[in-house]
Amino acid sequence: MKRLITFLTLVALAATARAELTVISSAHREADSFKRFSEYLTGKPSEGRYEIIRSDDSSRDGFYVSLLASDKAAIEQVSTVKVQFVRAGTLEIESFEKKADSLKKKRILVGFTESEWHGSKNHPMAWKIELLDSAGTVLESAQSFLWSE
């Protein structure tokens, strides 16, 4: 009986535990780096193996964080991506949220693509990315080293 209670407790804790996104890389990317051969032929953009979330959907150039989700089932429940960040030279936390109702891939690129992020020297000093469900519950998250400090 004691083992059963222990097992059920562990299962309950696992069900409520929040998964962490794995940060693969973070770097500036030029707009042309997203063009695939098929886009040259068809004119239609192809995201390849990534789900791409951009702060400005009309721009591809900017600073990107490449993430790997640990739970595909959680990805399908994501309705919003919340990004908090701190710009160089300030301590003010800024944020943006993007609707993401149709995530299907475990690899995610989150892009800071507004005009102030163009250029390889422009990047946030610290950032935190959260994948939220429709109730606003955090399903998975990732943050830069400086965000945790």
pLDDT tens track for 113-143: 988 888 778 889 999 999 999 999 999 999 9
Gyration radius from the chain CA atoms = 18
Answer whether CATH 1.10.540 is correct for domain 19-148.
no
| Contact indicator for 118, 64 with CB cutoff of 8 Å | no
∠ CA 147-108-73, nearest 5°, is 105
- Each domain of the chain, given as residue ranges in start order, spans 19-148
Distance CA 34, CA 25 (A): 16
pTM listed for this prediction: 0.80
The CA distances from residue 92 to 39, 86, 95, 132, in Å, are 39, 6, 10, 23
pLDDT digits (tens, 9 = 90+) for 78-117: 999 999 999 989 999 999 999 987 788 999 999 999 888 8
